[in-house]
Amino acid sequence: MSDQIKVYESTYTVTDEVAIHFMGPNIAPVLSTPSMINWMEHTCRDNVSSLLSTGEDTVGMEVNVKHLAATPVGMKVRVVSKLVKTEGRVYSFEVEAFDEVDKIGEGFHKRASVNVAKFDGRVAAKKQRVGHAG
């Protein structure tokens, strides 16, 4: 697959755990930008999971996203990931998010496929260098 578009969608619900509560006591909490980006990344990851070999997964390497509108707690959010380009082990996506009323986010994301065992070994070695257990 070089430039064939592959579309994948996920649906999430805005809860207090993914909301920002900073605007004061009379303003309803809304979906935080980092939470929206997290949902976008997970949807992109799921988009390409069927393309990977056993022992592989993907890691995020670039995110460029605009948060366009507020979404209150309780609303559903639909995230649409479009795999638009594959270059070797790098996957490029266009990604959008929609709540029940508005388009709330749009942008681009890149992920790279990695060998999970090698990745885990590198992370373990890094933790050991600074004395972190487990």
Give the chain's domain count: 1
Residue 55's CATH number: 3.10.129.10
Tell whether 113 is covered by a domain.
yes
Please report whether residue 134 resides in a domain: no
Range of the domain at 84: 6-129
Q: Per the domain annotation, does 37 fall within a domain?
A: yes
The model's pTM is 0.89
Strands (E), 27-117: 30-31, 56-67, 76-87, 90-98, 103-115
**Residues of the chain by 3-state class (helix, strand, coil), percent to 5:** 25, 45, 30
- Give the pLDDT confidence of 69-114 residue by residue, as tens digits: 999 999 999 999 999 999 999 999 999 999 999 999 999 999 999 9
Residue 1 falls inside a structural domain: no
